Structure 1
C-alpha cells in the first residue's frame, strides 16, 4: 500500500460503508470486458452488491485522475449511473457503481433472439430513448461533460425500463493516443481525424443508438462494418430506395398504429447522425423533439378513441403535415 492516500474514496450522499479490504475480499464475477476495462459484480461479506470497474491503460497522473473522478462523482441525475467511489494506486484503478439488475440495453435488444425471447416492445423502447436523452442532455448542460463512449452496452436499465447511462467522463483518463479505436462508442466520422470527442460526437453516437432501437441491429454487427459508422449508411440507403418500412425491427411489426411514431423517431435519429457536426441538433434539442413526440402520442390516443368514420378499420390515416423533424 502506498501510504494513506491510496484508499477507497467515497462521494457524499452514498449508501455504502466498506473499505478496500472488504472490497478485495468480496466474491466477484465478471459482468463484461469493455474498451475501458473489466466490470465485476462484487458481493461483499455483509451482503452489499456493487459493480467494480477495473480500468486498464490509464494514462494520467494520480492528481489528474482524482480531479476527473471528483468532477464525475458530483454529477447526479436519475438517468445517470452515479459513481460511488474510486481507488487509485500505481497498479490498480478501480471505480465503484451501483448494480443495475436489469442489465444493459445491448443484452436486452440482442440477447437470445429467437424462441423463448421476450421482445422489447415499442413503449419500452420509447421510454429508453426518452430517459437516455434526459440523462445525456443533463450531462452536457449541467455537467458540462462529454460522455465520449455512448453505446447500448453503456445504457443500463432500471426495473421500470428507464435508462441509466454509465461510463461517462472517463475519456480524459486514457490520453489521445488510442482514443478512436478504443473508447469513442459509436464513432462519429470526424473522430478518426480529430481524435477528440465533443458534444456533437455524443449526439452522433446517440443517433446511432436510436437507430439501434428502431432497427434491432447492433451497430458493430460484422455485416454493418466498422463500429457505428455503417448502420446510419445502411438506413440511409434503405430510406433512399423508399423502403422505409424495411429498416424497422421485425419484432416491432406486431404492434399496430406505431408506424408514424417510428418514422418520427427515425427522422430525429437521422438528424443526429448528420456527417457534418454543426448540422446535428444539441442534446437538449433532441430531448425536446422526443418529448414532443411523446406529447403528440398522448393526443393521438385521445383522437383515435373518438368515433371518427374517416379512420375506417385500417387504424389511423397518414399525417398530412410535413415529415421533416423540427
Structure 2
C-alpha cells in the first residue's frame, strides 16, 4: 500500500504565500520610490532642480492612500495564508492518522493470511462472539454455542485429555470445525495457565504455532477454542495404533523442521523471548497436510522475566532438561533439550521414557546416547517403519543434531537457529526445505 495522499489545502497555502510576497513587493516599490536603484542612477546622471523633483501635495496624498490600501490587502492576505497553513497542517495530520490506522488493520489481516490462519471464516460462523480484549484481539465465545457444537460435550467427541482437561471436536453450522479444550474447576494453577494461554497465543502469529480462535468463561469452567488439527498429535501418530506408519522419513524431517521454525520464532523473534517449558510430542499437533504446530502454552514463560526461586518446577518426565530438573535453571536451551528428545522419537519411534522389567524407567536419551555416537550402530536403532529409506549421510547428520541437543551441559547445546539451518538441507523443496529429490529411495521390501 502506498503513502496516504497529501491533503488538498496545502498547495493553496503556497499560492497565497506567493501572492502575498508579490503584493508586498509591489506595495514597497510604489510606496517608496526613493529606494529604487534605477531612480537613484537617474538622479545622478540627470540632476534636476529641487523644485522640479518635489511632487504636488495632491499627488503625495494619492500615493500615500494607495500605499495604505496595498498594506491593508497584504495584511489580510497574510492572515488568510496563516489560517490556511494551520488548517492544511491539521488536515494533513488527520488524514495521516486515519491512513495509518487503516494500514495497521490491513497488516494484521495480511499477516494472518500469510500464516495460513483461518480466523475470519471460523469466527464468522460462530453464533455469538464479542471482542473484549483489544490487546490480544481474541473474542469470547458464548458457552451455549460451544455446548451445541460439541453435542453437550459428548464423550464421542473427545479428541484427547490432559491432567485436568478434555479436548472435544466442535462442529459449527455443520461445516466449520474446531477443537475445544474444557477445563473444569481446577484451582489457581489451572486459572493461571488459562490466562497465560490467552495472553501469549492472543499475541503470537506463526504458521508453526497452533492458532487460538477464542475463549469462554462460564462459572468455574474455562474453555479454549483452537483451530482443529486433523491428524492429531505427533504422540498419537508415533505411539498410537498406527505406530508411525503414516510418517515417512521425509515427513518426519519436515515435522522436525516445522517444530524448529516455531521454536526459533519464540526464541529469536518474540520480544521478550518466550520459553515454552513443556515441549513434547503430545503438544505437537499436525494438520491435514502434516504441517506441525506447537500447542499448549499454559506453562510458557518470558525469558529473563522469571525468578528462579518463585518459578514452580513444571514439565513432563523425559523432556525436562537436567539443569532445570536439578537446579531450577531455565533458559531457551531447555527447549532445545526437549526438541532433541522429540527428534529422537521421530528417529527411533520410541517413547521418551520406557519401563524396564525391574519396574524401573529408562529415558530415551540414556538408552540411545551410546549408540548414537557409534556410526555402525545408528542404522540399527532407527524406527523399523522407516529403516533403510533414507540416505545414510542424512541419517548421520540427524543423529549428530540430536546428540548435540540433548547434551547435559546447556552451553554445549546449539541455538535453535543453528538446528534449523542444519535441518533445512534434509527436507525436500516441496515440503519446505532445500533438498531436491531426484528419485524416491527404495525400501528393502521394494528391492
TM-score (norm 1): 0.75
* Aligned counterparts of 2:360 and 2:180: Cα–Cα separation in 1: 29
Provide the residue aligned with 2:146 in structure 1.
23
List per-residue Cα deviations over 1:56-83 (Å, max 9, x = no partner). 6453697996476233211011111011
Does structure 1 retain, via aligned residues, the 8 Å contact 2:212–2:225?
yes
Does structure 2 retain, via aligned residues, the 8 Å contact 1:73–1:83?
yes
Does structure 2 retain, via aligned residues, the 8 Å contact 1:104–1:157?
yes
* Aligned counterparts of 1:168 and 1:211: Cα–Cα separation in 2: 22
* Aligned counterparts of 1:168 and 1:61: Cα–Cα separation in 2: 12
SS of equivalent to 1:250:
coil
Determine if the alignment matches structure 1 residue 202 to structure 2 residue 371: no
1:130 to 240, 254, 257: 257
* Aligned counterparts of 1:91 and 1:196: Cα–Cα separation in 2: 34
* Aligned counterparts of 1:60 and 1:215: Cα–Cα separation in 2: 35
Provide the residue aligned with 1:219 in structure 2.
352
RMSD over aligned Cα, in angstroms?
3.7
1:251 to 385, 389, 399: 385
1:69 to 181, 191, 198: 198
> Residue 214 and residue 61 in structure 1: after superposition, are their counterparts in 2 closer, same or farther (change >3 A)?
closer
Does structure 1 retain, via aligned residues, the 8 Å contact 2:254–2:427?
no
Larger radius of gyration: 2
List per-residue Cα deviations over 1:265-324 (Å, max 9, x = no partner). 11111111011112111111211111244489967856x99xxxxxxxxxxxxxxxxxxx
SS of equivalent to 2:159:
strand
> Residue 60 and residue 208 in structure 1: after superposition, are their counterparts in 2 closer, same or farther (change >3 A)?
closer
Alignment of 1:92-111 (within 5 A): 92-111=221-240
* Structure 1 position 46, deviation (Å): 5.5
1:268 to 370, 378, 401: 401
> Residue 54 and residue 64 in structure 1: after superposition, are their counterparts in 2 closer, same or farther (change >3 A)?
closer
Provide the residue aligned with 1:318 in structure 2.
none
Does structure 1 retain, via aligned residues, the 8 Å contact 2:238–2:349?
yes
Does structure 2 retain, via aligned residues, the 8 Å contact 1:8–1:86?
no
List per-residue Cα deviations over 1:3-38 (Å, max 9, x = no partner). xxxx88578777x89522211333232211224632
The answer to which structure, 1 or 2, has the higher relative contact order (CA under 8 A, 6+ apart) is 1
> Residue 37 and residue 278 in structure 1: after superposition, are their counterparts in 2 closer, same or farther (change >3 A)?
farther
> Residue 120 and residue 67 in structure 1: after superposition, are their counterparts in 2 closer, same or farther (change >3 A)?
closer
* Structure number with higher helix proportion: 2
Provide the residue aligned with 2:299 in structure 1.
170
Aligned residues: 290
Q: Which ranges of structure 1 fall in alignment gaps of 5 or more residues?
A: 1-6, 306-326
* Structure 1 position 133, deviation (Å): 0.9
Determine if the alignment matches structure 1 residue 48 to structure 2 residue 181: no
* Aligned counterparts of 1:299 and 1:177: Cα–Cα separation in 2: 43
* Structure 1 position 179, deviation (Å): 1.7
* Aligned counterparts of 1:209 and 1:126: Cα–Cα separation in 2: 11
Alignment of 1:4-23 (within 5 A): 18-23=141-146
2:289 to 160, 171, 181: 160
> Residue 64 and residue 130 in structure 1: after superposition, are their counterparts in 2 closer, same or farther (change >3 A)?
closer
> Residue 286 and residue 30 in structure 1: after superposition, are their counterparts in 2 closer, same or farther (change >3 A)?
same
SS of equivalent to 1:156:
strand
> Residue 32 and residue 42 in structure 1: after superposition, are their counterparts in 2 closer, same or farther (change >3 A)?
same
Provide the residue aligned with 2:323 in structure 1.
190
SS of equivalent to 1:187:
coil
